[in-house]
Structure 1
Amino acid sequence: MTEVIILLILIVINGLFSMAEISLVSARKARLEAQALKG
Structure 2
Amino acid sequence: MAKEKGKVSKSKKEKKIVVNGIVHIQSTFNNTIITITDM
Q: TM-score, normalised by structure 2?
A: 0.26
- The structure with more strand, counted as a fraction of residues: 2
- The structure with more helix, counted as a fraction of residues: 1
Q: TM-score, normalised by structure 1?
A: 0.26
Of structures 1 and 2, the one with the larger relative CO (CA 8 A, separation 6+) is: 2
Whichever of the two has the greater Rg, that structure is: 2
